[in-house]
Amino acid sequence: MATPFLAGLAVAAAALAGRRGIQAWQAFKAQPPKPKLRKFYDGGFQPTMTRREAALILGVRESATADKVKEAHRKVMVANHPDAGGSHYLASKINEAKDLMLGKTKSSGSAF
C-alpha cells in the first residue's frame, strides 16, 4: 500500500519540478539580450577623419584636454611605432588623430 503512494508522490514531485523548470526557462528567454562588451572598434577608417574617430584611435573622449591627448598619443605610438615593428600606415593615422584632436588639421589628410 505504501509503494503506490510513494510512486504517486514521486510522479507529482517530478511534474512540479518540470513545471518550475519550464517557467524558469521561459522567464530566462523573455529577458532582453545583454549587449556584448567589445574591447576593439568594429570598422575601418573613414575617408576623412572625424573627431569621434580620432578619439577612438587615441582612446580618449572627444572633449579631452590637450595634455590627455598628448599622453594618449605617446602611449599609442610607443606600441605602434614603425621603428619598433609597427605599421607606417597606423603611425600616420595616429599622428593624424592627434593633430585633429589638437586642432592642427592638415588639408591633405593621411599620407596614405
CATH code for the domain in which residue 92 is found: 1.10.287.110
Residue 24 lies in a domain: no
Long-range contacts (CB closer than 8 Å, 24 or more residues apart) made by 64-72:
64/101, 66/102, 69/98, 69/101, 69/102, 70/98, 70/102
For residue 95, is it within any domain? yes
Residue 11 lies in a domain: no
pLDDT surpasses 90 at 46 = no
pTM here is: 0.58
Considering the domain boundaries, does residue 19 fall inside one?
no
Asked if the model's pLDDT at residue 34 lies above 90, the reply is no
User: pLDDT category, 107, cuts 50, 70, 90?
Assistant: low
Cα separation, 77 vs 93, whole angstroms: 10
For residues 44 and 38, the model is more confident at: 44
CA 94 to CA 91: how far, in whole Å?
Answer: 5
Question: For residue 71, is it within any domain?
Answer: yes
Query: Quick one: pLDDT band at residue 55, thresholds 50, 70, 90?
Result: very high
Within a domain: residue 12? no
Percent of the chain with pLDDT over 90: 52
Of 41 and 46, the one with more pLDDT: 46
Structural domain count, the chain: 1
Domain that holds residue 97: 51-102
In the chain, the percentage of residues whose pLDDT exceeds 70 is 86
Is position 9 within any domain? Answer: no
pLDDT in tens, 69-104: 999 999 999 998 888 888 899 999 999 999 999 988
The answer to whether position 30 is within a domain reads no
Query: Which cell is 33 given?
Result: 539580450
